A and B are shown apart, each in its own frame.
Chain A
């Protein structure tokens, strides 16, 4: 059974810092991996989707990498801002089942 883990559960950094959020999964046979952002009281917003054939995806100050063989993905946020404060979740799609498997998220706080 696929399990997705995100460590740490919470992270607090000063504004301007570059940071990395981690996501690991137990079964490397995935089709793709998504990173989501969730603001308090809101739904999830998809940030980046990496297909299994890709190594990374970039959107603005965000860069997500995928290492299938080691079962890891990272989300790199450059020059963090207070507006980046949110919970970040990763999810994998394995194929064969029409579902995403989610991690429990990392709550990021960027302090001014």
Chain B
């Protein structure tokens, strides 16, 4: 199916653990993004990628790592999870900034 998919949809883990959130898009979009959405803060950009092997920091990158070895995949890793990283994480993609940005359904991550 065409679109953008995130996995897992829900994840519970403990502080200090490493966790990876997956994002896959089938449009061959150049740009991909990771956001977190928290009550009171709205959507905040964590990292983004303009193409395979090109990534850059967004507004709140600390504690996160990304990679993009293939155009269609953009995993987000929390190297040592903290409670403050409990959030809903959204992946998005676009072919360019004159085009709409498409979002996945999100991963709800709880860190105990």
CA distance A43 to B103 in the complex (A): 5
Q: Which residue of B is nearest A49, CB measured?
A: B100
Contact call A104/B103, Cβ cutoff below 8 A: no
Q: Please, how many residues of chain B have a CB less than 8 angstroms from a CB on the other chain?
A: 21
Beta-carbon contacts of A55-95 to B below 8 Å, as 1s and 0s? Answer: 00000000000000000000000000000000001010101
Residues of A within 8 A of B103 (CB): 36, 43-45
Say what secondary structure dominates the interface of chain B: strand
Partner among A32, A41, A49, A89 whose Cβ is within 8 Å of the Cβ of B43: A89
| Total A-B Cβ pairs within 8 A | 50
Q: Which residue of B is nearest A45, CB measured?
A: B103
CA distance A83 to B74 in the complex (A): 33
* New A-B pairs, 18, CB < 8 Å, besides A31-B98, A42-B106, A102-B42: A34-B101, A43-B103, A43-B105, A44-B103, A45-B103, A46-B100, A46-B101, A46-B102, A49-B98, A89-B42, A91-B101, A98-B31, A98-B56, A98-B97, A99-B33, A99-B58, A100-B101, A105-B42
Q: Which range holds the interface residue count of chain A?
A: 20 to 34
CA distance A102 to B101 in the complex (A): 12
Tell whether A51 is near chain B: CB-to-CB under 8 Å: yes
Given the interface contacts A51-B98, A98-B31, does A42 sit within 8 Å of B105 by beta carbon? yes
Contact call B50/A98, Cβ cutoff below 8 A: yes
CA distance A89 to B100 in the complex (A): 13
Q: Which residue of B is nearest A95, CB measured?
A: B97
Q: Which residue of B is nearest A93, CB measured?
A: B97
Distance between A107 CB and nearest chain B CB, rounded to angstroms: 12
Contacting A at CB under 8 A, from B54-99, are: 56, 58, 90, 92, 97-99
